[in-house]
Amino acid sequence: MGGVKPGGVKLGGVKPGGVKLGGVKPGGVKPNGVKTGCCKKTGGVKMGGLFRKLGAESLVSMLTKHRTVQTVSDGSVMSWQMVVLPVLMSSSVCCCCCAGLTDDQVKDYLTLHPQTLDEFVSESVSSETLDRWHKKKSSGSPDEPRPEKVSGYQDSNMQKLVHDLTSCLEQRLDTKLLLYDLCTIIKTATKADGFALYFMGECNNSVCLFKPTVAEDGPPTLIPAGPVTFGTTIATHVATTRQTLLVKDITGDQRFPEGTGQDSDSGIHVHSVLCLPILTAIGDLIAILELHRHWGNEPFNTSNQEVHVCRGLAKQTELNDFLLEVSKTYFDNIVAIDSLLEHIMIYAKNLVNADRCALFQVDHNNNELYSDLFDIGEENEGKPVFRKTKEIRFSIEKGIAGQVARTGEVLNIPDAYADPRFNREVDLYTGYTTRNILCMPIVSRGTVIGVVQMVNKLSGSAFTKTDENNFKMFAVFCALALHCANMYHRIRHSECIYRVTMEKLSYHSICTSEEWKTLTQLDLPTPLYKEIELFHFDISQFEELWPAVFVYMVHNSCGETSFELEKLCRFTMSVRKNYRRVPYHNWKHAVNVAHCMYAILQKTTGIFTEIEKKGLLIACLCHDLDHRGYSNTYLQKFDHPLAALYSTSTMEQHHFSQTVSILQLEGHNIFSNLTSIEYEQVLEVIHKAIIATDLALYFGNRKQLAELLSTGALDLDNHQHRDRVIGLMMTACDLCSVTKLWPITRLTANDIYAEFWAEGDEMKKIGIQPIPMMDRDKKEEVPQGQVGFYNAVALPCYTTLSELFPPSGPLLQACKLHTIYYIDYTYIT
């Protein structure tokens, strides 16, 4: 600087009294006779560079009078803003007697030029001296005033400190001396004057003061410090509440009449106390750290409490890491249950610091424990090695693991050979010596699904209560992982059974080559070609020709080239095989419904597209595929699996699903010649048509159509209107048995009631009274029931259909005639 410092001193110019500090030659003599160039190195500190910059008199005066230099820096390696260096000079330092610069002026200069001191220290001060200065500053002196800011470290430094502490602490969780050393670091980080470390006594009902040494090179000692209670010392108070407590003035706090419990003996006058419980992740108290600040120093503030979370956070972080790793293992490769079990076992070993680990799963069907993954006591890149071997099984009635599996209780055995339940033969066979055992159940939904057995505590004489508590929390997540893995295993097993079942089913539900080849060669009798065009055509007498009747109707309606003959024959014969032998909803009914649709399409030429005609004929043939003879209401009331799959229109959705399944069989896709768009369109037609056969949907659909017809608003180019028309056509075809000749209609009604009464019988078996229509004890009510059905369902359906398509009038006429017959009919025989 070329300017003038406060007080008129020009540092770069001539010093008052005519002495020019900046121009002194090395080896020259100053006015007071002090040689500046001949200063010796004292304590490893070369003073020449600093002398040239500051002036000898002020520097020596500062060093000899105050013995310390407080420095400020912009973030150098030594973090000068945290450290006040005690620059202690020996008596051999050459003292300059130059007068003029004051101590404050030198300090002001250093404040504005911290790099000056940085340069000097980095060039001239040894690392040993720096360490000595830092230690002296850290130890401090009660007489020295503290800066106003209690915590001089930055947040980033604090986080690093916590990370370092936790890394060190987690290596050996139960080592008291190591914990004491860590508390020493925490004392420095919080700028405390002292600290006390207490551990829990026996049964956790008292605290003991930890002393690292009593005599020179003696062992650590625990000194009783009182019971865990209120109204004594701050340490026992925190042991009771397990909450961090900051007291700025403990002498005036009536909660702690005995203060810290150490004042009277040690002569220490404690002013402020920060007392922190050291807890495990699940809340077990293992120690109490009591940090002190003496009278004359700033009390603790809330920022100092950051340190106390280190151990709990580390434990929780470790657990979170485990859960994330297990989740990743589970979802990345859900099949690899061995990998999942290995992760669980590795974490379990680390959690309680055990030498060996075994995990057994429970087979409740055979009352056995089994495992095929074993800890062989070796490591690979720092991780335990588990070997998959031949599965071993043993009775749940045997051994320690068996008892845990039976009772669901934890067993902590400090001396295995003193416990009669321990099987010594295992050690004799393996050559391994078992000292202590911690055995824990893994419980899911109140049932033990596994047992984890830890063998030989590495860092102590036996497993502790804390190990038990830690493991209990781990067991909850372990149970979840095992439950999911076992559930997936059962699903995979069920899937294999399903595949085998489907393979068997497909074999028995697919037509043989002889069947479909025979169909390609069948010809219909000549009279049938004419009769088949009539609505009342009776197919009963031509049972062997039903498949051929359907193929003929498809060809006559859609054209012989509309489907590949081989595929159409395969499809038709396989559909026949998939109809069950029930009284009414069977293969005969399917062909009857398809014939009625064929007759309607033949009399409404030009209205429906080729895609619609193909879809409607196939939908009619397949509309009751795999029908079981029970209504949707029955299936839903009795929680049938189909009702769980399809909550509405249960059987109709199943019929469509079966249709698609047959289409997907090899050589059965009759729509393979269509484009992808056309294929989607025809499947949509089939789906809507089959769903429309649910009679519960009929009433709303017919009402809407009747309104459209009455108002003249019906538009067949409107997709919604068109869907409603097709829906009504499907209902009309499904009910077509009421439009046949009277003898056929009456016999078909017998088949319908046979199914109804069978369903009613099943309901009676479980104490439910069926509706009259399904009660075989009320046969006399059948004619009346049929009249009601015709009036409420059949007649409105065919009336609306005949208004839509007048050529369908014969259906309505037959229905009206049969209504009259039923009025005079007594009962069905």
Contacts of 660 (CB under 8 A, 6+ apart): 683
Encoded amino acid at 176, one letter: K
Residues involved in catalysis: 585
Would you say 786 is a known binding-site residue?
yes
Closest Cα partner for 535 from 488, 449, 477, 598? 598
Contacts of 71 (CB under 8 A, 6+ apart): 80, 83, 84, 85, 110, 114, 117, 118
Q: How far is it, in rounded angstroms, from Cα 772 to Cα 798? A: 26
Interior CA angle at 130 toward 127 and 132, to 5°? 110
Would you say 775 is a known binding-site residue?
no
For CA atoms 151, 155, 161, 162, the dihedral sign is positive
Closest Cα partner for 198 from 242, 150, 230, 160? 242
Q: How far is it, in rounded angstroms, from Cα 156 to Cα 613? A: 76
Q: How far is it, in rounded angstroms, from Cα 589 to Cα 620? A: 10
Would you say 589 is a known binding-site residue?
yes
Would you say 294 is a known binding-site residue?
no
Residue 536 burial class via C-beta count within 10 angstroms: exposed 0-12, middle 13-18, buried 19 and up: middle
Residue linked to tokens 């005995």:
258
Q: What is the DSSP string of 109-131?
A: HHHH-HHHHHHHHHHH--HHHHH
Q: How far is it, in rounded angstroms, from Cα 493 to Cα 504? A: 17
Would you say 586 is a known binding-site residue?
yes
Please provide residue 385's backbone torsions phi and psi, each rounded to the nearest 5 degrees: -105, 130
Encoded amino acid at 481, one letter: A
Would you say 367 is a known binding-site residue?
no
Would you say 133 is a known binding-site residue?
no
Please provide residue 500's backbone torsions phi and psi, each rounded to the nearest 5 degrees: -65, -45
Q: How far is it, in rounded angstroms, from Cα 88 to Cα 83? A: 15
Rg (CA), the chain: 48
- Distance from first CA to last CA of the chain, Å, rounded? 126
Neighbours of 777 (CB within 10 A): 11
Residues pairing with 371 in the sheet: 392
What residues are designated binding site?
A: 585-589, 623-624, 734, 786
What residues are designated binding site for AMP?
A: 585-589, 624, 734, 786
What residues are designated binding site for Zn(2+)?
A: 589, 623-624, 734
